[in-house]
């Protein structure tokens, strides 16, 4: 049996699952691009340290948000996809995307624009 964690609020539960610099970006990428191999995720993120990316992928898998599939071959590969539980996070990711789009002003330069302002228009190009 897994040891229960004490949290102060429901928001903390959500942050424990998707908190971290890279987790929301990983999930958003997989949401629109479908299952991806480790190196594809690594290339997309650009500046994520490999050790941190590996740790965050493992945490998402442990929490039941991602599914890790071994792909037989030479060399053996690994592919990550979002589970049905992970799909329940889509509205949160869309809200984060939309909020960022509407509030970035001229303070930021986007390298991978994924939102066009409304959740229904959010996509990768």
Q: Give 110-125 pLDDT, tens digit per residue.
A: 887 777 554 444 544 4
Tell me what pLDDT residue 117 has.
54
Q: Give the global pTM.
A: 0.84
Quickly count: other Cβ atoms within 10 Å of residue 90's Cβ.
15
Tell me whether residue 84 is exposed, middle or buried, using C-beta atoms within 10 angstroms of its C-beta: 0 to 12, 13 to 18, 19 or more.
exposed
pLDDT tens across 90-112, in order?
Answer: 999 999 988 888 888 889 888 87
């Amino acid at each position: 049996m897994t040891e229960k964690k004490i949290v102060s609020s429901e928001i903390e539960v959500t942050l424990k699952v998707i908190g971290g610099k890279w987790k929301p970006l990983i999930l958003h990428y997989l949401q629109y691009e479908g299952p991806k191999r480790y190196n594809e995720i690594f290339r997309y993120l650009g500046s994520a340290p490999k050790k941190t990316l590996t740790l965050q992928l493992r945490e998402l898998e442990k929490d039941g948000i991602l599914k890790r599939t071994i792909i037989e071959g030479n060399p053996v590969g690994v592919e990550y996809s979002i589970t049905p539980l992970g799909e329940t996070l889509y509205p949160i990711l869309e809200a984060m995307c939309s909020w960022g789009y509407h509030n970035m002003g001229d303070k930021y330069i986007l390298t991978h624009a994924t939102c066009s302002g409304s959740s229904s228009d959010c996509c990768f190009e």
